[in-house]
């Protein structure tokens, strides 16, 4: 069993004696505070914080971080207050302990809402001091190492949340060794049978190759020495969970996974890395498409290395990683390397990595501020926690890191929020491309903006980064409220016409009575509720004038659709009305008004609630294009479909879909066309009828199918 004296001996290698003494004092303080408490395993409770401190000592954590690790359960599990800790060890340590304490009882496998809320708390704690999450990761790692003392259902819950949250965070902070340990232990606990079977298969395929691997290591070492390249070489096996994930994601067998075995070569200088790469490619045949230069373009967590996969002497694929000593420390410890180099008075890569991690945490805060609820927050950060990166360039050569599957919209928001909000199109490698295009590493992306442009709701179907999705949703929700207030004003004004008054002429007392009735704060909230269909304009108007004589009411004018209502007006798919059709509107909660053709059978169902039924007409200025389906019956002769399609190619109307629904001597097809008026529809139908093989053209509704 480890002791405080052994920890002190380890710490004395990089901390001054007065700081080692502070850490020892924290241990004795924790020992006294936890006196009488025991773990599930039966050990004295203080063995847990001591083990956490040992894990952080290996990462060269500073004095305050180690002190907080030893005291991290004191506030939560004993009667000692934060103020007492601050008095004894300073406000910095007390703040760290308090931050970790707030994360102690996260139950990620309970309701999704609770998981999201707790992850939000974790992001905020990281933002206050990133050492909070490092202590928490070390705490989780020791808990995973002693998981056998837990009952089976708790084992699975803790293992699942480790795989879902803690391991990805360790990866995002570049703490590779911690991530591997967490994943391996959680995999064994959550999938014990799969873990055993995979280990057995790996051992069967690769386990008897120790002598061959040693021979390979000696061979590479001698070849590098012959070229006067100083290096250290180690051969490793990829950890089981990583192999399992790759097999599952790519649906491949163990034999098809190329990097089960790997060689790591660590050298002294960056230029030596590229020299070693040349030697490796001269000795072994490289596998095409398997080279990656993470030195020139580091990963988002600061990882730097050259990766190449070659065919080894035994015919099996072999991944080779080449990096400098400092890159190796950062690759293994990630952000923790910052404290290691700081304690030695050095900086460089580790400082850059610390800045990257801090930047990421700040981006989490930005997402959290604009997210409207915890569920939206956690949905938006998923892609940031699981990043398979692509690296693209701005026109000036700046590198932007994005998750795999990212689009120019994600790129635009990655550069700056305002660029994302005003982008209208893009150029990829100097060629115009759709904003939905998935980006690939090495491409140069130029965003074209316009001052009057604004985010489009369709972007949410292909934007994947948390920053992009949060900003799009934030803008749309604020814009939707603005539109809803304007739309609600129009609806209420129309209803008040029946009472011979306007919104501006309403008595404040009457308005307040209605606001109190619906538990609303102000007039804007009332108008928004009417605009979104939660309240009906006529019903609100009647409540504003409860004593008005029914016989004196006048019939309100028809509501004119002008196309500026945005998402607050939608068009029923059952009858697909277009400008020029006689229409009626139905007020639906949270959807505003659904417009139907006046003869649509479905509108009869809504007449049971006449207060939600609105007479409507089209404005002369409307230029909105709406989809219409046409059914074309034609003689099935050679080239008939091509002739029908070409009959409307020289018009301004867009065919969105063409589908043959019946084949025979007389066949039928469905054409979906974007039309802006009945006049345009008549023109299209006339052109189609003019095709010699066409027998009949009719407009289709879903109701009539």
Active site residues: 76-77
Give the angle 193-199-204 at the CA atoms, nearest 5°.
125
The tokens for 651 are 């018009």
Name the residue with tokens 């002008």.
562
For residues 176 and 337, the answer to whether their CB atoms sit within 8 Å is: no
Give the angle 357-364-403 at the CA atoms, nearest 5°.
75
Query: Strands, E, within 53-212: which ranges?
Result: none
The tokens for 575 are 């009858």
Q: In whole angstroms, give the CA distance from residue 696 to residue 546.
A: 56
Q: In whole angstroms, give the CA distance from residue 46 to residue 44.
A: 6
- Rounded to the nearest 5 percent, the helix, strand and coil shares of the chain are 50, 15, 30
Instruction: Identify the CA nearest to 191 among candidates 149, 168, 162.
Output: 162
Q: In whole angstroms, give the CA distance from residue 254 to residue 288.
A: 20
Q: In whole angstroms, give the CA distance from residue 172 to residue 179.
A: 9
The tokens for 256 are 């098809």
Query: Strands, E, within 562-653: which ranges?
Result: 569-571, 583-588, 592-597, 613-618, 626-635
SS (H, E, C) 181-232: HHHHHHHHHHCHHHHHHHHHHHHHHHCCCHHHHHHHHHHHHHHHHHCCCCEE
Residue 636 CB neighbours (<10 A)? 15
For residues 65 and 93, the answer to whether their CB atoms sit within 8 Å is: no
The values of phi and psi at residue 387, to 5°, are -95, 110
The tokens for 16 are 């001054």
The tokens for 333 are 């410890």
Instruction: Identify the CA nearest to 350 among candidates 298, 308, 392, 388.
Output: 298
Q: In whole angstroms, give the CA distance from residue 80 to residue 37.
A: 14
Give the angle 332-335-337 at the CA atoms, nearest 5°.
60
Which residues are paired to 428 by β-bridges? 431, 445
For residues 532 and 481, the answer to whether their CB atoms sit within 8 Å is: no
Residue 358 CB neighbours (<10 A)? 15
The tokens for 438 are 């998935």
**Residues present in the chain in total:** 705
């Amino acid at each position: 069993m480890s002791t405080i004296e052994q920890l002190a001996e380890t710490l004395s290698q990089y901390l001054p004696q007065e700081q080692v003494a502070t850490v020892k004092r924290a241990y004795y303080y924790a020992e006294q505070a936890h006196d009488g408490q025991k773990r599930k395993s039966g050990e004295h409770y203080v063995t847990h914080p001591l083990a956490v401190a040992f894990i952080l000592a290996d990462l060269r954590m500073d004095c305050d971080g180690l002190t907080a690790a030893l005291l991290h359960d004191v506030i939560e599990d004993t009667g000692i207050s934060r103020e007492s800790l601050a008095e004894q060890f300073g406000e910095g340590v007390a703040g760290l302990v308090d931050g970790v304490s707030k994360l102690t009882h996260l139950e990620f496998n309970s309701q999704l809402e609770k998981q999201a809320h707790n992850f939000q708390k974790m992001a905020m704690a990281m933002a206050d001091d990133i050492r909070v999450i490092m202590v928490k990761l070390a705490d989780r790692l020791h808990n995973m190492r002693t998981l056998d003392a837990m009952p089976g259902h708790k084992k699975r819950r803790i293992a699942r949340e480790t795989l879902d949250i803690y391991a990805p965070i360790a990866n995002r902070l570049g703490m590779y060794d911690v991530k591997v340990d967490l994943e391996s232990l959680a995999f064994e606990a959550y999938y014990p049978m799969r873990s055993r079977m995979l280990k057995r298969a790996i051992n069967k395929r690769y386990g008897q190759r120790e002598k061959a691997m040693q021979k390979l290591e000696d061979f590479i070492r001698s070849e590098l020495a012959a070229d006067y390249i100083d290096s250290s070489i180690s051969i490793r096996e990829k950890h089981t969970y990583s192999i399992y994930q790759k097999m599952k994601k790519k649906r491949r067998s163990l034999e098809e996974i190329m990097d089960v075995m790997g060689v790591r070569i660590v050298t002294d200088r960056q230029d030596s890395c590229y020299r070693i790469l040349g030697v490796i490619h001269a000795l072994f045949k490289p596998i095409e498409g398997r080279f990656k230069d993470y030195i020139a373009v580091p990963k988002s967590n600061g990882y730097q290395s050259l990766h190449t996969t070659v065919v080894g002497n035994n015919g099996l694929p072999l991944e080779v990683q080449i990096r400098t000593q400092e890159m190796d420390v950062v690759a293994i410890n990630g952000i923790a390397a910052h404290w290691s180099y700081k304690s030695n008075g050095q900086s460089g890569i580790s400082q850059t990595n610390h800045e990257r991690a801090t930047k990421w945490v700040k981006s989490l805060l930005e997402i959290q501020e604009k997210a409207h609820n915890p569920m939206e927050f956690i949905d938006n950060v998923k892609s940031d926690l699981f990043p398979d990166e692509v690296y693209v360039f701005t026109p000036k050569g700046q590198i932007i890191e994005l998750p795999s599957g990212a689009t120019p919209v994600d790129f635009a928001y990655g550069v700056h929020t305002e660029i994302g909000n005003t982008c209208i199109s893009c150029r990829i490698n100097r060629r115009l491309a759709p904003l939905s295009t998935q980006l690939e590493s090495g491409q140069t992306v130029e965003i074209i903006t316009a001052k009057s442009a604004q985010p489009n709701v369709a972007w949410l179907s292909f934007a994947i980064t948390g920053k992009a999705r949060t900003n799009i949703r934030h803008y749309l929700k604020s814009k939707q409220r603005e539109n809803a207030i304007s739309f609600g004003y129009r609806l209420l004004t129309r209803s008040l016409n029946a009472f011979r008054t306007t919104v501006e002429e309403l008595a404040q007392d009457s308005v307040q009575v209605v606001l109190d009735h619906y538990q609303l704060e102000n007039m804007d909230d009332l108008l928004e509720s009417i605009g979104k269909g939660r309240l009906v304009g006529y019903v609100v108007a009647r409540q504003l004038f409860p004593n008005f004589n029914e016989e004196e009411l006048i019939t309100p004018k028809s509501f004119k659709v002008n196309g500026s209502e945005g998402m607050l007006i939608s068009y029923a798919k059952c009858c697909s009305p277009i400008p020029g059709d006689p229409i009626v509107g139905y007020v639906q909660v949270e959807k505003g008004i659904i417009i139907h053709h006046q003869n649509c059978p479905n509108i009869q169902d809504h007449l049971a609630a006449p207060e939600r039924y609105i007479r409507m007409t089209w404005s002369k200025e409307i230029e909105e294009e709406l989809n219409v389906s046409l059914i074309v019956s034609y003689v099935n002769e050679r080239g008939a479909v091509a002739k029908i399609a070409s009959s409307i190619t020289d018009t301004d109307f867009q065919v969105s879909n063409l589908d043959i629904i019946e084949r025979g001597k007389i066949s039928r097809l469905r054409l979906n066309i974007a039309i802006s008026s009945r006049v345009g529809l008549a023109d299209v139908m006339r052109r189609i009828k003019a095709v010699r093989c066409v027998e009949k053209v009719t407009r289709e509704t879903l109701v009539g199918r």
